[in-house]
Chains A and B, each alone.
Chain A
Amino acid sequence: MGSLKAGTARLARGIEAVLRWRAFPRGLQWSLAVVAGLVVFLALRPLRHAEVNPGAAILWQLWWPLLPFLILLTARLWCAVCPIPALGEMVWLSHRRSLPLPPPQLRRIGPWLAAALLTALSFAFLLSSLEINGRLTALLLIGFALGAGATALFWRGRSFCRYLCPLGLMIGLYSRLAWLRLGPADNPGRKAAAASARRCPLFTSPVASRRAQDCVLCATCLQEKEGEAVAVRLEAPTLTRPALLSAEAVAVTLLLGALLADALRMTPLYLRYMAWALPLLGWNYRLTMGLGMAGVMGALLAGQTAAALLWGRRSSFWPFFGRLSLAWLPLALAAHLALSAQHLLAAGTVYQNLAAELALVSPGHLPPTDAYSFLWPLKGLQWVLLLAGAMIALAVARRWPGSQSKAYLAAAVVPALALLVIFLEPMSVAC
């Protein structure tokens, strides 16, 4: 036990040394901005040899499935090195005038906008086959960079990352389950603590009572003169504290719904649904798919709303709604990890596509006769992830006041049952 503690402390010190490194995060951020530029270039370039657009494939079949694993290990560290706000920082550095803080309206409405954008992105991903659409992928990346750049024209710091970025919202929510965070050093000086808080580009403070999910570990506070007030901490997640904002609670439900729909899409059940529903809906593929997805997300949202209305009568609606979302958050991350593991199976295809497009290997392929496979080791990993998610959900639900009611506990694990059933099916990896 002692050696584990010492090992953890050593690891924390190692991470802290990296974060205190002067080239962090800008060096990595600008390197990744170059990579992002290459991805956009590949995404917009007409295909010559590959089957799938390599730009889209790198983004959606490599980076996207790796992201949840990265969050689990490093919380919001990706946000620190994300190339999207690089344009915003360039804008900020070019005018160098003192900009105001984001207005309270933005702080209030921002998370709702981010939740709406996250939902729109989920629909766009599935309805327009974003994972194979190079032009749309490039447009999305450029749109995000322009959004971050435009935000930097009006408000200081990384307002886009804190209040508007839909992926920032998702990463922030998942990071509640991560172990890495910045916190107060053992004896932070009051003055130093206040100074480090003032410089945070996300308007939070690692030494004050604040939400860890808002911190992107950009290390601005660590690298300043008063940085000794801050330290890297590897601690057990505090999933249940503080409570979720209303917009975040809704975002968790919609995210879980989108993940359920995506998981269904990867099974033969989806083919049966489409074959059954398409003739009923005039053979409109996108409408049929969109309605199915909206049905899954809507059912989850309706069930949660009804439960919160029933149980929240004595107090209020949102606390109950938020509690259920908190219990479902580990399930969403577990589902995301399980799906990502499935998508990562296609990583070989990405390399092959890229190599074919760069004329490094001979192009062409013979697709599998059956797109769906049941790989026991992968299924084992997925069920372990989902069961772990369900157990954490149950543990969270047990902390609720009045959790002696079995109905409370049942509501917390309902989506886990649906996910386990879906992941019993064979799943596809190919596009």
Chain B
Amino acid sequence: MKRGYLLPLLAILLLAALPLLAACTAAHTEGLPEYAYRSDLSLKAYQIAVAQGELLAQMPCYCGCGADPRYKNLRDCFLDANGEFNSHAANCLICQQEAQDASQWREEGLSTKQIRERIDQNYEGRGKPTDTPPVVETAKPGDAG
């Protein structure tokens, strides 16, 4: 019956394998902090913040962070003024959704001003917005974010 010990032991090892393997392996995070990996939407939003930070910097955030003077635009929810990652957006669905919408509308060819208008239209009323200056440039579709 001693062989009987092997299977439960194997099951323990298998059960523990996934989290332990992940925990013990040096994470390849493409420079993103671990908290960015909480959900599909969170990961995409942080990737967008890195790739299209300039676009997000021109969008207000409507999650309610406008009440905090440290937050001036949507980009601040992902990256602070020093370019360090901020965990705020990892725990906020509004920030994540806003970043995803802005990026998707950019892909659809909308100008920065048009994206800003849509963001205002869709998210107004969710919370106190950040005090983000209006977009003044007449950006063309496809300009750099």
Contact = CB atoms under 8 A, between A and B. Distances in A.
Given A49-B125, A276-B28, A364-B67, A407 B4 contact: yes
23 contacts: A129-B39, A264-B18, A272-B22, A273-B23, A274-B22, A275-B34, A277-B22, A278-B37, A279-B28, A285-B39, A285-B40, A295-B18, A299-B11, A303-B15, A306-B10, A363-B125, A363-B127, A364-B67, A366-B68, A405-B1, A405-B4, A430-B91, A431-B93
Interface string A407-431: 1101100110110011000001011
A260 interface: yes
B28 to A, nearest CB: 5
Interface string B55-88: 0000000111111100000000000000000011
Given A49-B126, A303-B11, A414-B12, A271 B93 contact: no
Contacts of B50: none
Contacts of A268: 34
B8 A51 contact: no
B22 A300 contact: no
Interface of chain A: mostly helix, strand, loop or mixed: helix
Contacts of A306: 7, 10-11
A264 B65 CA distance: 30
Nearest to B123: A47
Given A285-B39, A302-B14, A366-B63, 16 more contacts: A47-B126, A129-B40, A270-B19, A271-B38, A275-B37, A276-B21, A279-B30, A285-B43, A303-B14, A310-B3, A363-B125, A366-B67, A367-B63, A407-B7, A411-B7, A418-B15
A272 B125 contact: no
A242 B67 CA distance: 60
Contact of B7 (A47, A300, A303): A303
Contacts of B4: 307, 310-311, 405, 407-408
Contacts of A365: 63-64, 92, 127
A366 B64 contact: yes
A310 B7 contact: yes
**10 residue pairs, one from A and one from B, having the closest CB atoms:** A364-B127, A364-B64, A303-B11, A407-B4, A273-B22, A299-B14, A367-B91, A275-B27, A285-B40, A274-B37
A199 interface: no
Contacts of A48: 125-126
Interface of B: 1, 3-5, 7-8, 10-12, 14-19, 21-23, 25, 27-30, 32, 34-35, 37-41, 43, 62-68, 87-88, 90-94, 125-128
Contacts of B17: 295, 299
Interface string A252-293: 000000001000100011111111111100000110010010
B126 A363 contact: yes
A364 B41 CA distance: 19
Given A299-B15, A410-B8, A272 B92 contact: no
Contacts of B41: 129
Contacts of B39: 129, 285
Contact of B11 (A132, A292, A411): A411
A307 B8 contact: yes
Contact of B19 (A269, A285, A415, A430): A269
B33 to A, nearest CB: 9
A386 B121 CA distance: 48
Nearest to A308: B7
Given A278-B37, A302-B14, A405-B1, A363 B64 contact: yes
Interface string A362-380: 0111111111000000000
A368 B18 contact: no
B46 to A, nearest CB: 12
B121 to A, nearest CB: 12
Contacts of A296: 15, 18
A366 B67 CA distance: 9
Which of B28, B29, B91 is packed against the most chain A CB atoms within 10 Å? B91
Nearest to A303: B11
A52 interface: yes
Nearest to A407: B4
Interface string A226-247: 0000000000000000000000
Contacts of A289: 40
A364 B88 contact: no
Contacts of B16: 418, 421
A292 B34 contact: no
Given A129-B39, A418-B16, A269 B23 contact: yes
